Amino acid sequence: MPVITKTPREMPILSGPTPEVDPALPAFEPHRPALSGNVRFVHSDRTIGTVPRWVEALSQYHPNLNIETLIVASSVAAQTFVDGDADLAFIGREMLWGERDLFTAHFGGLPRRFAGCGGNLDIPGTTHAVAVFVHKDNPLTQISLDQLDAVYSTTRNQGLDPIRTWGDLGLEGEWADQPIKLWGQTPDIGFDRFVQERSLLGGDFREDIELLDQVDTIPQRVAEDRYSIGYAGFGHGLSAPGAKGLALSRGVGEPAVECTPETVLSQEYPFSRRLYLFVPGAGSEPISPAIAEVLRFALSREGQTAVAKDGLFLPLPERVVRNDRAMLESLIQGQ
């Protein structure tokens, strides 16, 4: 299958000042001796402001390391691995189920992924924070990820009993006996995959959810239905004043976090998003030093400074980078 290339689109930029890069991020320490060889690096058109900065910086340390870049649709990244056309991919979201299944069937295990940067707050057409919306008259102000699982799934992998009415979420009076009307996105497009992974823990959605192809219309549908709930990008709600976003907590009884520029930058908001770097292979299969060097630069203070300078997405906090660097170091070939 030939690689499907993509014409870069003009991307908007973050409003306001450049976000601060976490000073606790580790400084990049290049591999010694200098590396050589080739790395085929496919990436989304949404990362055209970041990837060239990474490649240029790495060329200063490794002049004989040739990093070939190619812009592709995120939907074909898994296929480029299967076809042997890529060594590294930086795409604008999680792999969808069909993409993951293609990858797993070929490599015998789940894809290894590393956070490349954080999603933004509300820029349309990009990877941005997800919000849970209810009608503006709804007394509810917050919800937890395990409650969302109990609302939206049949499997309820987070262990709560089914939640079917607003009374099940603690509302009283006229709300108590009202069934919760569910809005969601058509499966395997993007937002549904994120919610399914982060809240349902890979479980199954209920079959009575009203599904829409265009997730950006969900807040307006919620605004028109007093007893409904739906998820969409935080920015999608800005055009639906009849809907309001809920604060989110990771579990019942835990502190809820509002969706703000600060909480999305820090990744404290539970539905903050990330863009991911994927490598071929599965399990503990080693990663070559050259590919690992690109990943190590991305997961460094200098790599995340390049993200901030691009102005489309947000740099990662140190605690996210720490976990992914530890995973990477355990996989580097020859250690």
pLDDT by residue, tens only, the chain of 335 residues: 344 444 455 555 555 567 899 999 999 999 999 999 999 999 988 888 999 999 999 999 999 999 999 887 777 788 888 888 899 999 888 888 888 888 899 988 888 999 999 999 988 788 889 999 999 999 999 999 999 999 999 999 999 999 999 999 999 999 999 999 999 998 777 788 899 999 999 999 999 999 998 889 999 999 999 999 999 999 888 889 999 999 999 999 999 999 999 999 999 999 999 999 999 988 888 999 999 999 999 999 999 999 999 989 999 999 999 999 999 999 886 55
Give the model's pLDDT for residue 13.
58
Say how far apart CA 334 and CA 186 lie, in whole Å.
44
**Whole-model pTM above 0.85?**
yes
Backbone φ and ψ for 6, nearest 5 degrees, come out as -135, 140
Residue extents of the structural domains in the chain: 37-119+274-329, 130-265
User: What is the three-class DSSP state of 97?
Assistant: helix
- The one-character DSSP state at 21 is P
Measured between alpha carbons, how far is residue 8 from residues 15, 135, 283 in Å? 21, 37, 33
Cβ-contact 148, 118 below 8 angstroms: no
**What's 130-265's CATH class?**
alpha beta
37-119+274-329 CATH choice from 3.40.50.2000, 3.40.190.10, 3.40.50.300, 3.40.50.261: 3.40.190.10
Report helix, strand or coil for 182.
strand
Q: What angle do CA 154, 159, 164 make, to 5 degrees?
A: 50
* Tokens 């010694």 -> residue: 32
- DSSP string computed for 111-179: EEEEEEEE-BSS-TTS-B-EEEEEETT----EEEHHHHHHHHBSS-TT-PPP--BGGGGT--GGGTTPB
Strands 228-233 and 130-135: antiparallel
Point out which residues pair with 153 in neighbouring strands: 205
Query: What's the confidence (pLDDT) of residue 225?
Result: 95
Q: Residue 334 is encoded by which pair of tokens?
A: 């020859």
CA angle 267, 291, 54 (to 5 degrees): 60
Same-fold call for 37-119+274-329 versus 130-265: yes
Which neighbouring-strand residues pair with 120?
A: 128
281 — alpha (psi -120 to 50), left (phi > 0) or beta?
Answer: left
Is 177:224 a contact under the CB 8 Å cutoff? no
pLDDT of residue 1: 36
